[in-house]
Chain A
Amino acid sequence: NAGVTQTPKFQVLKTGQSMTLQCAQDMNHNSMYWYRQDPGMGLRLIYYSASEGTTDKGEVPNGYNVSRLNKREFSLRLESAAPSQTSVYFCASTGVRGKNQPQHFGDGTRLSIL
């Protein structure tokens, strides 16, 4: 019962370094999402992919890029990390498209940028 798997769980970067956060789901879901969680801010949508082959910007896309590699995998890339990107990142997915369908979340990647 893996659900949504995120790697790595923790990462420390230096300013200017790049890295890719990986996300994979095994529920055959069409839509996938990347959020960041900051204290007092709730969850904010970075990018999403409504279906394989499509990606769209969310609320806070600046400084990030995404790739929907296939139906299972949706990665988030920081090209040049900045301290303001220190956050907890969550990947989520949902199956049948409809407003009644909840999203399923991974356990998060805790990213610190020094």
Chain B
Amino acid sequence: GNSVTQMEGPVTLSEEAFLTINCTYTATGYPSLFWYVQYPGEGLQLLLKATKADDKGSNKGFEATYRKETTSFHLEKGSVQVSDSAVYFCALSDGGSNYKLTFGKGTLLTVNP
């Protein structure tokens, strides 16, 4: 079956530091890959996505590249802000009959001023 493994954290950084959150996956076929962000007390919001190999998704300074050879989709940001403090989830959809998402366990990021 499908699975997503992401670094569990928590991750604590100072403002303006570089961020990497690792995500690797196991799936049949050619899945689409997503990063979602959950701010405290809120639901999940789509941060970025990539739908085929070598695609780069980007949004709000965050980037992730779909690497089929390493089955990875690592999230990066060059300079984090306090407002980026949240839980980040990596997820995939393999296009199965009902397009269900498989999520990683989430990574809590705290950015200190």
The total of Cβ contacts below 8 Å across the A-B interface reads 63
Once the chains bind, are B43 and A105 in contact (CB under 8 Å)? yes
Bound form: Cα–Cα A103–B43 in Å: 11
Q: With an 8 A cutoff between CB atoms, is A53 at the interface?
A: no
Q: With an 8 A cutoff between CB atoms, is B95 at the interface?
A: yes
Interface residues on A, range: 20 to 34
User: Quick one: which of B89-110 are within 8 Å of A by CB?
Assistant: 89, 93-101, 103-106
Closest to A101 in B: B99
Give the chain B neighbours of A56 by CB distance below 8 A. 98
- Residues in A lying within 8 Å of B, measured CB to CB: 4, 31, 33, 40-45, 48, 50, 56, 58, 90, 92, 94, 97-108
Give the chain A neighbours of B49 by CB distance below 8 A. 100, 102
Bound form: Cα–Cα A87–B100 in Å: 20
Give the chain B neighbours of A44 by CB distance below 8 A. 103
State how many residues of chain B have any CB contact under 8 Å with chain A: 27
- Cβ contacts A to B, 20 pairs, < 8 Å: A4-B43, A33-B101, A40-B105, A43-B44, A43-B89, A43-B101, A43-B103, A45-B100, A56-B98, A90-B43, A90-B44, A97-B99, A99-B31, A99-B32, A99-B99, A100-B51, A101-B99, A105-B43, A106-B43, A107-B41
Give the chain B neighbours of A58 by CB distance below 8 A. 100
1/0 contact string of B76-96 vs chain A (CB within 8 Å): 000000000000010001111
Closest to B42 in A: A107
